[in-house]
C-alpha cells in the first residue's frame, strides 16, 4: 500500500512502499515506521531559518527600543535661550494663558505651567515630553503658545484648547479643557 504525505512535512521519498527493511528510499535515516527522520537536510534548513528569523527579530526589537529612547531624549525640551527676550505683545498675551491640568479627549492629560523667573515662558507636559512654549500674538484673540524648536503649537480658545504639530499640520490633542474653560 502506498502512503502519500504532503511535501511540507519535509519527509522525502515517502511515496514508496515499505518493505521488510523499513526503508522508503529516502536520503535521510529511517525510523521503524518507514518514514524519513526529520533531522535530514530539510529539518536542519528549517531550524536554521527559524533561528535566524528569531535572532533578527530580537536584534530589531533592541534597535527599535534604542531608537525610541534616543527620540525621547531629543524631545525633552531645552530652556529658552537667555538672550532672547519677549516683546510687549508676547508678554501681554501671556497674561491670558490658562495654567494647570487640562483633561483632553481619550482620557489624556496635559499640564501647562509658567516657568519661574521667566515671564511669558511656559512648559507643556504631555506624557513623557515637555515642550517649552512662548506666546505669539494673534489678531483673533485666541492664545497661541509655540515651541519653535520642536514645531508644536498650543491653541487656547474660550471653549477648549488643542495641541498642534505645526510641521505636519495635524492635531496631536483636541478637546482639552482647563477648569476655567469647563465653566464657560
Q: Which residues, 6+ apart, have CB-to-CB distance to 156 below 8 Å? A: 96, 97, 98, 142, 143, 144, 145, 181
Which pLDDT belongs to residue 14?
Answer: 46
- 3-class DSSP state for residue 171? strand
Please tell me the pTM assigned to this model: 0.54
Pairing of strands 143-147, 129-136: antiparallel
Q: Order the strands of the 109-114 sheet from edge to edge.
A: 100-103, 109-114, 122-126, 129-136, 143-147, 152-156, 161-165, 170-176
pLDDT digit string, tens, across residues 31-40: 555 555 545 5
Which pLDDT belongs to residue 180?
Answer: 84
Which pLDDT belongs to residue 165?
Answer: 93
- 3-class DSSP state for residue 113? strand
- pLDDT < 70: residue spans in the chain: 1-41, 59, 62-65, 67-84, 183-184
The span from the CA of 43 to the CA of 32, in Å, is 19
Amino acid at each position: 500500500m502506498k502512503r502519500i504525505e504532503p511535501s511540507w512535512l519535509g519527509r522525502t521519498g515517502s511515496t514508496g512502499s515499505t518493505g521488510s527493511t523499513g526503508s522508503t528510499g529516502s536520503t535521510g535515516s529511517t525510523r521503524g515506521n518507514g518514514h524519513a527522520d526529520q533531522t535530514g537536510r530539510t529539518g536542519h534548513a528549517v531550524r536554521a531559518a527559524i533561528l535566524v528569523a528569531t535572532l533578527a527579530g530580537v536584534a530589531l526589537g533592541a534597535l527599535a527600543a534604542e531608537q525610541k529612547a534616543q527620540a525621547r531624549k531629543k524631545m525633552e525640551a531645552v530652556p529658552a535661550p537667555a538672550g532672547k527676550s519677549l516683546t510687549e505683545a508676547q508678554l501681554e498675551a501671556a497674561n491670558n494663558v490658562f495654567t494647570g491640568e487640562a483633561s483632553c479627549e481619550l482620557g489624556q492629560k496635559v499640564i501647562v505651567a509658567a516657568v519661574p523667573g521667566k515671564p511669558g515662558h511656559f512648559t507643556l507636559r504631555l506624557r513623557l515630553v515637555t515642550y517649552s512654549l512662548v506666546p505669539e500674538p494673534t489678531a483673533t484673540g485666541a492664545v497661541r503658545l509655540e515651541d519653535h524648536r520642536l514645531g508644536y503649537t498650543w491653541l487656547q480658545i474660550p471653549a477648549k484648547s488643542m495641541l498642534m504639530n505645526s510641521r505636519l499640520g495635524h492635531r496631536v490633542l483636541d478637546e482639552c479643557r482647563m477648569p476655567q474653560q469647563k465653566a464657560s
